[in-house]
Amino acid sequence: MANDRTDSNLITREYFDSLLLEMRHIDSVIPDTAITLFGETFQMPIATAALSHLGNTAPDGMAKMAQGAKEAGALCFSGMGSAEEIQSMCATGAKVIKIVKPHADNEYVLFKIREAEEAGAFGVGMDIDHAFSADGQYDNVMGLPMKSKTLSELRSFVESTRLPFIIKGVLSVQDAEKCLEIGADGIIVSHHHGIMRSAVPPLMILPKIKAVVGDRMKIFVDCCVESGTDAFKALALGADAVCTGRAIMPPLKENGAEGVRDRLLSMNGELKGVMERTGFAKLSDIDDSVVYQRKF
């Protein structure tokens, strides 16, 4: 019988909190958190996660998330949604990466990629971890059938677009190597807020993935990134950038785009504070030499 001890979100939160940091104040300066991703410079290595259905959180919630990301100088991911929705997100001027679901119908996948391109998306991708349901069948999301993808199917999606292609839901060295093999531009190391029980925390497997990927693909991390300190720990263990999802929903609900902007800016302010106190002047300097592991 499953219990809370196998809840992947709780395990992931616990793992973040088990990582401790030393301090190096001498010679430290105010750091620069600017980052270039796929040729575009952003002010922070913190992106909004590939959320969807944010109309349930705030009116025009998806466009407001994009607006908030743009105002904060952050990259914005988007989950499933209509043509009008991705258009409204891109119309804010935000750089939006559209994550397309692993629809069973590959023609429909290609259609959704085209739709994002035409809306002016900055990138596209797929959440490969959403193919199966909790009862061992192929999933059906909002009436749309899903199916797992073979490597050659994934390759055909990557090759179908000139936009950067990001594969979301990578939680093994094997899948990371396969993403490299087909020329993906980036991966999101994620368990999709607990899509499987007892999933390894993304930060626990991240160093292994970084060791094989190196600088050949951008590595994003999501799941339970709630603060600048969380973001720092992910960067220290090998991520280029992080995505934050559920943490921006309450401010979106309360204050719309401004709420999202302020939340991102405050997370980045905290990240800067940790960089100052650990002696790293720029993102690319950050390494794991300041990280300690409390008994887990």
Ligand X SMILES: Cc1cc2nc3c(=O)[nH]c(=O)nc-3n(C[C@H](O)[C@H](O)[C@H](O)COP(=O)(O)O)c2cc1C
Catalytic amino acids?
A: 192
Q: Which residue has the tokens 């531009």?
A: 185
C-alpha separations of 36 from 138, 189, 218, 224, 248 in Å: 37, 19, 10, 24, 23
Shortest CA distance to 121 belongs to which of 148, 143, 93? Answer: 93
Q: Restricting to residues 241-280, which ones interact with ligand X according to CB under 6 A?
A: 244-247
Of residues 24 and 108, the one with the C-beta less far from ligand X: 108
Q: Are 9 and 280 in contact (CB under 8 A)?
A: no
Q: Say how far residue 280 (Cα) sits from the centre of its chain.
A: 23
Q: Shortest approach of ligand X to residue 12 CB, angstroms? A: 8
Q: Shortest approach of ligand X to residue 162 CB, angstroms? A: 22
Of residues 35 and 50, the one with the C-beta less far from ligand X: 50
Query: Is residue 186 within a helix (H) or strand (E), and if so which, with residue range?
Result: strand 186-189
Torsion (CA) 54, 57, 60, 65 in degrees, nearest 10: -60
Phi, psi of 129 (to 5 degrees): -85, 5
Q: Restricting to residues 192-211, which ones interact with ligand X according to CB under 6 A?
A: 192-193
Q: Shortest approach of ligand X to residue 177 CB, angstroms? A: 21
Phi, psi of 106 (to 5 degrees): -65, -30
Of residues 42 and 77, the one with the C-beta less far from ligand X: 77
Of residues 244 and 278, the one with the C-beta less far from ligand X: 244
Site string for ligand X, 153-192 (x = CB under 6 A): ---------------x---------------------x-x
Q: Shortest approach of ligand X to residue 29 CB, angstroms? A: 30
Among 51, 158, 235, 265, binds ligand X (CB under 6 A): 51
Residues forming the site for ligand X (CB under 6 A): 49-53, 79-80, 99, 127, 168, 190, 192-193, 222-225, 244-247
